[in-house]
Amino acid sequence: MLAKEIAEILHAVPLTKWDESVWEREYSHVFATDLMSDALALIQDNEESTVLLTGLCNTQTLRTAEMLDVRFIVFVRGKFLLDDAIEMAKNMGLVCLATDYTMYDACGRLYEKGLTGIYGKHSA
Amino acid sequence: MESILHKEYTVVQDDYVNAGKVSSDIKSTLAEIGISPKVIRKIAVASYESEINLIIHAWGGKVFMDVNDDGSVALVFKDPGPGIPDLEKALTPGWSTASEKARGMGFGAGMGLPNIQRVSDEFNIESSPAGTTLSLLFRSPV
Ligand SMILES: Nc1ncnc2c1ncn2[C@@H]1O[C@H](COP(=O)(O)OP(=O)(O)OP(=O)(O)O)[C@@H](O)[C@H]1O
Ligand SMILES: [Mg+2]
């Protein structure tokens, strides 16, 4: 799924202006957490096509993404980054969006449209 | 095995503003000298978890990085205390004594040390009330 489609599904707004090309990037996996150590432990592959969904709005989220080579973060529950953090995200080349949906609703909407968790298709 | 590049850093207790800077520098340094992205990612994750532990659990500490002539990378995290009373517990996934403040920053899942152990090729930790030393080695194909 394209970044711009994800933004539409979540009615998400970009936290700053990004180069147009970022909206054409493809994503297939989502990892949702407020615990950065969980992200650091569990996102082991496909980092370039993984979206990090989180309610944790501080520079540690950005650092975590940097270490993992994750490039796309969506902040849930209408949270925003402070200006310093936005500047830092820009320097790191991270794309950051904010949505008013809660974690549960944001996950549900993306899941419904076919994005999978980090282990791929849910089989139940 | 001989070190061909050595770097040292200081990490300050409770310094959340700068948390991650050391690991970020280590990551870009290794990228510059051409270590493979897969290995760098493991090192970056282990380094960041260890750096955060110095900030949230220890009274700050020092980080030493060596790139060896065989392409391996050694990291040492050394702090002056208070030490880890029960290492076995500390290495158990989910076990954490993180403060409210640390939890508010997204830490305290009790996943750091187990994850560091998982991604490193050699893992050694020694701890006493006089401090903790964590030594890691990452092999990398040259
Ligand atoms: N350098 C250190 N000095 C003192 N205690 C430490 C140190 N590093 C780890 N610990 C202790 O070991 C426990 C487990 O550490 P670990 O990194 O696995 O989890 P955490 O830091 O609590 O949470 P997470 O890493 O998931 O954010 C810590 O809660 C703390 O009690
Ligand atoms: Mg930790």
- Least-confidence region, from A78-87, B69-78, B112-121: A78-87
Residue A3: which of A39, A48, A54 has the closest Cα?
A48
pLDDT on residue A110: 98
Residue A124 maps to a domain: no
CATH code, A10: 3.40.1390.20
Q: Per-residue pLDDT averaged across A74-103, rounded?
A: 93
Helix axes B112-119, B37-56, angle to 10 degrees: 150
Residue A113 maps to a domain: yes
Residue A89 maps to a domain: yes
- B19 CA to centre of ligand 1 in angstroms: 15
**In which band, very low, low, confident or very high, does the pLDDT at A25 lie, cut at 50, 70 and 90?**
very high
Domain residues for A74?
3-117
**In which band, very low, low, confident or very high, does the pLDDT at A19 lie, cut at 50, 70 and 90?**
confident
**In which band, very low, low, confident or very high, does the pLDDT at B130 lie, cut at 50, 70 and 90?**
very high
Residue A14 maps to a domain: yes
Q: What is the dihedral angle through the alpha carbons of A79, A83, A85, A86, rounded to the nearest 10 degrees?
A: 80
Q: Which of A35, A61, A63 sits opposite B48 (nearest CB)?
A: A63
* Pair B67, B33: CB distance under 8 Å: yes
pLDDT on residue A95: 94
What ipTM does the predicted assembly reach? 0.94
**Burial of A121 from C-beta contacts in 10 A (0-12 / 13-18 / 19+):** exposed
Tell if the CB–CB gap between A59 and B17 is shorter than 8 Å.
yes
Tell if the CB–CB gap between B20 and A35 is shorter than 8 Å.
no
Task: Sort out which chain A residues have CB atoms less than 8 A from B24's CB and list them.
Answer: 63, 66-67
- Return all residues near B94 (Cβ < 8 A) that are at least 6 apart: B109, B110, B111
State yes or no: pLDDT of A78 exceeds 70.
yes
Residue A122 maps to a domain: no
CATH code, B127: 3.30.565.10
Percent of chain B with pLDDT over 70: 99
DSSP code string of A37-101: HHHHHH--S-GGGEEEEES--SHHHHHHHHHHT--EEEE-TT----HHHHHHHHHHT-EEEE-SS
pLDDT on residue B140: 87
DSSP code string of chain B: --EEEEEEEEE-TT-TTTTTHHHHHHHHHHHHTT--HHHHHHHHHHHHHHHHHHHHTSS-EEEEEEEETTS-EEEEEEE-S---S-HHHHTSTT-----HHHHHTT--SS-HHHHHHHH-SEEEEEEETTEEEEEEEE----
**How many structural domains are present in chain B?**
1
**In which band, very low, low, confident or very high, does the pLDDT at A107 lie, cut at 50, 70 and 90?**
very high
Q: E strand or H helix at A13, and its extent?
A: strand A13-14
pLDDT on residue A82: 87
| Pocket around ligand 1 at a 6 A CB cut-off | A 37; B 49, 53-54, 57-58, 79, 82, 84, 90, 95-98, 107-114, 132
Q: Map tokens 């959340």 to a residue.
A: B16
**How many structural domains are present in chain A?**
1
State yes or no: pLDDT of A35 exceeds 80.
yes
Residue A70: which of A121, A25, A115 has the closest Cα?
A25
> What is the rounded CA–CA span in Å between residue B56 and residue B69?
33
CA A94-B120-A42 angle, 5° bins: 45
Residue A41 maps to a domain: yes
Structure confidence by residue, pLDDT tens digits, B45-102: 999 999 999 999 999 999 999 999 999 999 999 999 999 999 999 999 999 999 999 9
Looking at the complex, report in whole angstroms how far the Cα of residue B68 sits from the nearest Cα belonging to chain A: 22
**In which band, very low, low, confident or very high, does the pLDDT at B1 lie, cut at 50, 70 and 90?**
confident
pLDDT on residue A122: 65
| Averaged pLDDT score across all residues of chain A | 93
Respond yes or no on whether the N-terminal peptide bond of residue B82 is cis (omega within 30° of 0): yes
Domain residues for B32?
3-138
- Least-confidence region, from A15-19, A42-46, B117-121: A15-19
